[in-house]
């Protein structure tokens, strides 16, 4: 989004959708957003007639510094824009969480699927008009329909369960990278270190091995791989979190390549 949004002006896309709406060919128009809350605020300020926003929102990404779900959600609500939610189950990761998280959900209600908690979490938020749930088979569709056909927002007690799940995930061993990207600027091998750490955390926090490896391959497609680290130490000197990046990259190479 950061690299592409200016094309909307260059190719007069905003004017085009307004014209189609004026002709009655479309009823509402909006856009999918994958960038910072600051940029979202700028766009919505410049284009106040947008009818809705599509945002990545799920309970695992609310405070994620690379996604900033909560901050983007708050910007959209401050502009009074309805929201369509993408990635409510974080690419499937929240449908099959780590055993510690499963145990919390089982203790709260053994009849509810982990996916149902994730989808109902976002559907319970103010201003949500649609939750886009990716489904792979009829069983998943039946599960979705079982709790969305007659939707009931999360109760206060259920919200507390989600908070407990988030605390549980936060306690799991993971790479505590904030995604500042200071380590990337001087890397002689152009290794996308924060992106690699995000992929590794997919394994550590969400038990999502397939998704992690797919994400790793995509992020390193035209950049350096973890195994190509020269161990020069530039990244560790730039890291404000003082992470042992060289050793972490070795671990990532062993589990992702």
Q: For the chain, what is the mean pLDDT? A: 92
33 and 131 fall within a common domain: yes
Residues 193, 243 within the same domain: yes
The tens digit of pLDDT for each residue in 173-188 reads 889 888 888 999 889 9
Cβ atoms within 10 A of the Cβ of 128, count? 17
Does 129 lie in the same domain as 191?
Answer: no
The answer to whether residue 1 is domain-embedded is no
Q: Using the predicted structure, report yes or no on whether residue 32 has a pLDDT greater than 90.
A: yes
Mean pLDDT of 72-90: 96
Q: Is the pLDDT of residue 1 over 70?
A: no
pLDDT score at 28: 95
Residues 214, 126: one domain? Answer: no
Six-digit token pair at 52? 């809705």
What domain count does the chain have? 2
Two structure tokens written together for 45: 């300020």
Q: Is 53 inside a domain boundary?
A: yes
The predicted-structure confidence for 217-240, as pLDDT tens digits, reads as follows 999 999 999 999 999 999 999 998
What residue has token string 């369960």? 161
Last residue of a domain, one of 113, 140, 171: 171
Residues 76 and 97 in one domain: yes
Q: Based on the fold, state whether residues 125 and 220 are members of the same structural domain.
A: no
Whether residue 152 lies inside any domain: the answer is: yes
Q: Are residues 15 and 121 in the same domain?
A: yes
Dihedral through CA 67, CA 73, CA 76, CA 79, nearest 10? -130
CA 229, CA 182: separation in Å to the nearest integer?
A: 16
Q: Which helix (H) or strand (E) holds 103?
A: helix 99-108
Q: Tell me the CATH number at 159.
A: 3.20.20.100
Is 156 inside a domain boundary? yes
Report if residue 135 sits inside a domain: yes
Separation of alpha carbons 151 and 124, rounded Å: 9
pLDDT band at 206 (very low <50, low <70, confident <90, very high): confident
- Structure confidence by residue, pLDDT tens digits, 161-175: 999 999 998 898 889
* pLDDT at 3 (0 to 100): 62
- What is the per-residue pLDDT for 136? 84
CB 214 within 8 A of CB 257: no
Considering the domain architecture, whether residues 72 and 99 belong to the same structural domain is answered as yes
Residues 204 and 145 grouped into a single domain? no
Nearest to 171 by CA among 121, 237, 101, 223: 101
Q: What percentage of the chain reaches a pLDDT higher than 70? A: 99
| Last-in-domain residue among 144, 171, 198 | 171
One domain, residues 108 and 228: no
Contact 122, 58 (CB under 8 A): yes
Q: Is the pLDDT of residue 4 over 80?
A: no
pLDDT in tens, 92-151: 889 888 889 999 999 999 999 999 999 999 999 999 999 998 888 899 899 889 999 999
Domain around 195: 182-256
Q: For residues 128 and 229, state if they share a domain.
A: no
Residue 176 belongs to a domain = no
The pLDDT, as a whole number, for residue 96 is: 85
* Average pLDDT rounded to a whole number, residues 146-158: 94
* 219 in any annotated domain: yes
Give the span between the Cα atoms of 99 and 42, in whole angstroms.
Answer: 41
Same domain, 58 and 133: yes
The torsion angles phi and psi of 147, rounded to 5 degrees, stand at -115, -10
Measure the CA–CA gap between 159 and 117, rounded to whole angstroms.
9
The alpha carbon of 81 is separated from its chain's Cα centroid by a whole number of angstroms, namely 20
């Amino acid at each position: 989004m950061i690299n592409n949004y200016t094309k909307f002006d260059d190719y007069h896309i905003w004017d085009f959708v307004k014209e189609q709406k004026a002709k009655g060919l479309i009823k509402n128009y909006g856009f999918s957003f994958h960038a910072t809350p600051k940029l979202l605020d700028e766009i919505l300020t410049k284009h106040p007639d947008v009818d809705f926003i599509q945002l990545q929102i799920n309970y695992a990404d609310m405070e994620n510094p690379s996604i900033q779900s909560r901050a983007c959600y708050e910007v959209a609500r401050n502009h009074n824009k309805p929201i369509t939610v993408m990635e409510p189950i974080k690419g499937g990761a929240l449908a099959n969480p780590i055993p510690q998280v499963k145990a919390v959900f089982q203790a709260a209600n053994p009849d509810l699927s982990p996916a149902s908690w994730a989808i109902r979490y976002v559907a319970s938020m103010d201003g949500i008009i649609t939750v886009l749930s990716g489904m792979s088979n009829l069983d998943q569709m039946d599960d979705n329909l079982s709790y969305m056909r007659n939707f009931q927002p999360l109760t206060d007690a259920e919200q507390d369960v989600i908070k407990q799940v988030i605390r549980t995930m936060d306690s799991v061993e993971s790479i505590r990278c904030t995604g500042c990207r200071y380590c990337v600027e001087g890397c002689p091998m152009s290794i996308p270190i924060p992106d690699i750490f995000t992929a590794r955390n997919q394994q550590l926090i969400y038990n999502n091995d397939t998704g992690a490896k797919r994400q790793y391959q995509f992020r390193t497609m035209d950049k350096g791989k973890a195994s190509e680290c020269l161990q020069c130490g530039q990244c560790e000197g730039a890291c404000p979190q003082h992470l042992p990046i060289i050793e972490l990259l070795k671990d990532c190479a062993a589990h992702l390549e």
